[in-house]
Each structure stands twice: as structure tokens, then as C-alpha cells.
Chains A and B, each alone.
Chain A
Amino acid sequence: AQSVTQLDSHVSVSEGTPVLLRCNYSSSYSPSLFWYVQHPNKGLQLLLKYTSAATLVKGINGFEAEFKKSETSFHLTKPSAHMSDAAEYFCVVRTTGFQKLVFGTGTRLLVSP
């Protein structure tokens, strides 16, 4: 069965410093992977997705993620954090067959001035 593990429940950074949110996946085949962002009391917005094309995926708002099969990882990064990046981030894997999504437990990103 497919699953994802988000290694940190909270990450704190200062504005202008790099962001790293870690995600490891488990899948018996080449997976489709996503990062979604959720601001408080809002729905989820797609940041980026990997579907077996380029391993370095660029998303919205300056975020990117690299698919590393050897490490079964799909970490999310951003060179310079902005206050508006403060939110909850979910790493997601899609199962085979019908597109059922399996969500990680989320990482809350805190950005201080």
C-alpha cells in the first residue's frame, strides 16, 4: 500500500531564510506525488506535482520539490521564506487505479519576522 510520512509536525524559520519540509513515501511502483498547502480554515491548494517526468518539480510561489527514488523522498524547498508562506503543508501520494489520494499528517510552517 502507498503511504507518505512527513518527518516534522512543525518547522519554524525566519523570514528570508530557506525552507525545507521533508516527506518520505512508500510505494511498490513509481508514484505520483503532490504537495498541497492549506491556510487556516481554508481548502487545499496544489503547490506542485510529480508524475514521472522531470525529477525536479517547480511549483507556485517559488516552491520546488525533488523526487529521489533512491531515498524514497520528495522534500519541499523554497530559497527564501515569506510571511505569507505560514500555513500547513501536506505531502500526498496517489494510489493506482482510481485516483485515491493518501495524505501525510501535515507540517505546520511558522515564519517569524
Chain B
Amino acid sequence: EPEVTQTPSHQVTQMGQEVILRCVPISNHLYFYWYRQILGQKVEFLVSFYNNEISEKSEIFDDQFSVERPDGSNFTLKIRSTKLEDSAMYFCASSLQGTREKLFFGSGTQLSVL
């Protein structure tokens, strides 16, 4: 069964450093998402991406965040200058036909900012 893959599974960084989280969505999917989940809290939407541009973003997704689809397979989330409160599990998801259809999630990247 096709799956969304994310790397790395764990990322430890120092406050103020830049991190790039990587995702490979399912190959024929057209819609891509990033969510995050702080320990003990709910899954929060960050950004959606379609047709090579951001389609929606939340208040969390400020100027410190950016997304990119550098080639036909990867979808990345960059955090320019990490803060302690960015520590969370970051999930990438994709769907075939947008939000009418189910989301397939990757197994996540646990980001720890020290």
C-alpha cells in the first residue's frame, strides 16, 4: 500500500537554528499538508499546498515557516529560526482530491528544540 514517508523520524536542534523536515507524499496525490502536534495536545493544521503554491495556512504558520516542493516527489517544511515552543511532532499528509477525500499521514518527525 502506498504511504507517505517522512524524514528524519527525530530531529534535535538548538534554539535559533534552521531545520528542514522532509516528506515524500503518495505519488499520485495532488494536495499536501503539514500538521503539528505538541505533546498532549490536538493535531493542529499548519499549511496546505496545491498546484505548487500554498492554498491555506493557519495562524501558526508565520514568517518563520516555509514550504517547498523542490522536485516532483519531495515536500519540505522549513523553520528558519527555531524556538523552544516549536518542539512538537510534525506530520505531513497528502490526499488525492483535496479535502473531500481522506488524508494519508506520514509517521511524523519529532522535533526537539533545546
A and B form one complex: no
Interface residues of B (CB under 8 A from A): none
